[in-house]
Structure 1
Amino acid sequence: MAEKKEYRIKVQGQLMPVSEEIYLTYHRMKRRETYLEERDTTNGVFYYSALDTEGTNGEDVIPDLISPRVEEAVMDKLLSDKLHKCLAQLTKEELELILTLFFQNKSEHQLAAETGIPRITLHDRKTKILQTLKKLMEK
C-alpha cells in the first residue's frame, strides 16, 4: 500500500498540515505572485510603497495634481474680490448689461430682441464697458 503524502504550508512561521488541493492552490498562487513581481522588475515598474519608512507612507509623497493648488485658489479669490469692487464702480445701466450678458448667459441677439436696442449698439456698449473694467482691474 502506498504511503499517503503529507502536505504542509508555512503559516505565521509554523508548518500547518493541509490537503493536497490547498497545497497546490497555495503554491500556484505564490508562483503567480513571484511571476508578477519578476515581470514588474523587468518592465521597470516602481511602487511608492518602496518609499515607506517608519514615519511616512510612500504614497504620501505622490503629488495631488487634481486638487486646486492653494496659490491658485488665493489668486482666484483676490481677482474675484477685485472684480467685484470694479463692477461696483460701474453705472447701473453698465452693470445690468454686464450681468445680463455674462452672468445670465444671454446673447447680444437675445438682449437686443428683449430691449429693442440694436445688437451693434449693445456690442459697442459691452466693448466699452469691458475696456473700462480692464483699466480698473489694472490699477
Structure 2
Amino acid sequence: MKYAPRKVYIKENGSYTELSYKEFCNRREKNGDYAEKFFIPVQGCLIETEQTHYVEFYHDKERWRYLKKLDADNSLLSLEAFERDDDNSINFIADEAVNVAETVVHRMMLDKLRSALTMLSEDEQKLVNAIFFQELSEREWSSISGIPQKTINDRKRRILAKLKKILEK
C-alpha cells in the first residue's frame, strides 16, 4: 500500500469497529483470518467489505483507468484541459442555445435599471427593495412598515410608472 490510511473499519459482531492503521496491522499479524478479508479505500480510510463489492470496486477502477488511457491515446478533450494554460486546451465552447444579442440587451437593461433605481427617493427604494428583491407581499410590507396596504399599492404603481419613463429615455 502506498499510504497508511487514517482509519480502518472492520466488521465485528455485525457492526463496524474503527481502528487505527497501526492497530489493524498488529491484529493482522496476530490473526490469520485477516488474510481472507477484503478492504476497499474510501476517502483515506479502509473499509472491510464483501468479496463481491471488492471485485466490483476494482473492476470499476480498472475500467476507469482503461477509459482514461483511451482518451489520452485518442487526444480526446477532458475537463482537466480547461484547467491547464497550455495552447492545446480550448478557451471556451460556444453554447448555441444562448442568444448573445439577447444576453447583451438584457444586461444593458439591468445596468440602466440599476442606475434608474438610484434616482428614486429613499422611501421609494425601500419599497422596491422589499417587494421586488426581498419578495415580500404588499400586505407583509404593510405590517412591517406600518403603511396601509392600499397606500403601498398606489406608491408601487407610481414608482413603476416613474421607472418606465426613466428607462424609455
TM-score (normalizing by structure 2): 0.43
Other-structure match for 2:102:
72
Other-structure match for 2:163:
133
Query: Quick one: which amino acid aligns to residue 151 of structure 2?
Result: T
Superposed CA RMSD: 1.3
Structure 1 residue 119, shift from structure 2 partner: 0.2
Other-structure match for 1:57:
none
Other-structure match for 2:111:
81
Distance 2:155 2:98 in 1: 35
Other-structure match for 2:152:
122
Structure 1 residue 81, shift from structure 2 partner: 0.5
Structure 1 residue 98, shift from structure 2 partner: 0.3
Q: 1:103 aligns with which of 124, 129, 133?
A: 133
Q: Which has the higher helix share?
A: 1
Q: Where has structure 1 moved over 6 Å in runs of 4 or more?
A: none
Distance 1:98 1:104 in 2: 9
Structure 1 residue 68, shift from structure 2 partner: 2.0
Structure 1 residue 74, shift from structure 2 partner: 0.3
Show the 5 A alignment for 1:1-139: 64=96, 67-139=97-169
- Structure 2's unaligned 5+ residue stretches are 1-94
Structure 1 residue 116, shift from structure 2 partner: 1.5
- Structure 1's unaligned 5+ residue stretches are 1-62
Query: Quick one: which amino acid aligns to residue 87 of structure 1?
Result: L
Identity of aligned residues (%): 39
Query: Quick one: which amino acid aligns to residue 164 of structure 2?
Result: K
| Paired positions, count | 75
Structure 1 residue 95, shift from structure 2 partner: 0.6
TM-score (normalizing by structure 1): 0.52
